[in-house]
Every structure is written in C-alpha cells, then in structure tokens.
Amino acid sequence: MAELIVLGFKDETSADAVIPELERMGTEGLLDLDDWARVVRHHDGKIEIRQATSTAGLGAASGALFGMLFGLLFLMPFAGLAIGAITGAIAGKLSDVGISDEFIKDVGNQITPGTSALFLYVARATTDRVVERLQQYEPTVIRTSLSNEAEEQLRTAMQGQPAA
C-alpha cells in the first residue's frame, strides 16, 4: 500500500535538491514513487508548485494519438490529431491523478515563507537506506498517512537519532 509523506525543508532550495537524489534512489531500486510534488513558499508569500507528471501533457499526447487514429477512419488524420491533442490536454488539465492538488495547495499555504516542502507518494522503499540518504538535507516530517508509531519512528530517524 502506498503511503503519503510530506517533508519540510528550512529553505527554498532544499526540496529541489532532493529530487535528483530521489530519482537516483529510484534507479538503484531503493525507492518507488507513484507521484511527487514540490512546493516552495517564497518570502513574499507566493507559492510555487512543481509536480512529477504533467497530466495536461500526457492527455495531449494520448489525445493526439487517438484523434489521429479516429481521423484516419474519416480520411482526416491531421484534423483528428489536432482535435485529439486539444481535447486530451483539456481533459488532462482537469483530471487530478496522484497527490491531490487541493491538499498540496493547503499545505503550501501553511508552511513558513522562505521554506519548501516535498510531497512523496511512496509505493515501496528500503526505509533505512532512503532515510540515511535524505538526512543530509535536514528534512522535518510535516504529515504522513503512516500509523502514529511509524510516523514517530520516521521523525526520529530523519533527525539522525537511533530508533527506539
């Protein structure tokens, strides 16, 4: 079962620095993420959100493919391609896959200006090794979908303290 973990960072750049590390751990088989999102709350209070997947882009690509195939049936492949891409992009933009956009914005509004947060939808992880690699970024656990006991163990581990 996938778990949602939100990590907070004391500056605007640390969450972005963690993303390549997450990707490396993924290629090493230490971590499987179903989705991730990064939120930065700038000093002026503005929130910047970056997500792993662009549903609009995926929708446009799949819509273009199906539109072109449909267009071939009526001998208008380019018209089908264009119409399919447009409708796919709109449908993709309106769909919410993975971590809820509303939840991301809600937590983003709660973090302190000048900080950042990383939302991880974790399918599988080699927890001890992942925590060890993330400790250098000094994350704090903001929220999780873990049990209270597991969340407390994660908080303790992220602070570099041995688990009880």
Query: Looking at residue 95, what DSSP letter applies?
Result: -
Residue 76 forms part of a structural domain: yes
Query: Looking at residue 42, what DSSP letter applies?
Result: -
Mean pLDDT of the chain: 80
The number of folded domains in the chain is 2
35: β partners: 121
What is the three-class DSSP state of 103?
A: helix
Let me know whether 116 and 137 are in one domain: yes
Q: Could you tell me the residue range of the domain that residue 61 belongs to?
A: 55-94
What is the three-class DSSP state of 124?
A: strand
Query: Looking at residue 55, what DSSP letter applies?
Result: H
Of 56 and 143, more confident: 143
3-class SS string, 131-144: HHHHHHHCCEEEEE
Check whether 66 has a pLDDT greater than 70: no
Rounded to the nearest 10°, the torsion over CA 34, 14, 146, 143 is -120
Let me know whether 23 and 41 are in one domain: yes
Q: How confident is the model at residue 159 (pLDDT cuts 50, 70, 90)?
A: confident
Residue 38 forms part of a structural domain: yes
Do 7 and 118 touch, CB atoms closer than 8 A? yes
Mean pLDDT of the 45-49 span: 91
Mean pLDDT of the 78-91 span: 61
Do 141 and 155 touch, CB atoms closer than 8 A? yes
Of 52 and 12, more confident: 12
Residue 71 forms part of a structural domain: yes
Q: What is the pLDDT of residues 99-127, one digit of tens each?
A: 888 888 988 888 999 999 999 999 999 98
40: β partners: 48, 116
* Count of residues in the chain: 164
Taking residue 90's Cβ as centre, other Cβ atoms within 10 Å add up to 14
**Domain closes at, from 94, 113, 148:** 94
Mean pLDDT of the 64-81 span: 57
Of 111 and 88, more confident: 111
